[in-house]
Amino acid sequence: MRISEAEAVVMEVLWGQHPLSADEVMARLPGGNDWAEATVKTLLNRLLNKGAIEAQKQGRRYLYTPLVERDAWVLEESSSLLDRLFDGRVAPLVAHFSQHRRLSRDDVAQLRKLLEELDDEQH
């Protein structure tokens, strides 16, 4: 399932708390008042049509709940990125970031720790 960048912002709100009405989603969006009500409702409808969220009627409004888990979406998005840009390989991705974005000492330490853990699992 492809979720656009704008739809992902709405999903982040719903992953943080749900169920929420369209007004409640709008109030929690970054930049709050910068989002037009019609835009938010359009995004919610797109997500409904994709099956990413569900809506339950409560009185005169709908409450929205995510059906897609954030971890599953992140895995799909990151796998797609790796496949499209780096032929499915992680090492070229890390090399790219190390060449074009300065990795902090903490980043490097976390990568080393992860590699050690992966190495331990394979032996």
Backbone angles phi, psi at 58, to 5 degrees: -135, 100
Residues 5-53 have pLDDT tens digits of 999 999 999 999 999 999 999 999 998 668 899 999 999 999 999 999 9
Q: Is residue 95 pLDDT above 90, yes or no?
A: no
CA 106 to chain centre: 23
**Do 22 and 39 form a contact (C-beta atoms < 8 A)?**
no
Cis geometry, peptide bond prior to residue 66 (ω within 30 degrees of 0): no
Which pLDDT belongs to residue 93? 87
Looking at residue 33, its pLDDT comes to 67
CB 16 within 8 A of CB 28: yes
Higher pLDDT, 12 or 105: 12
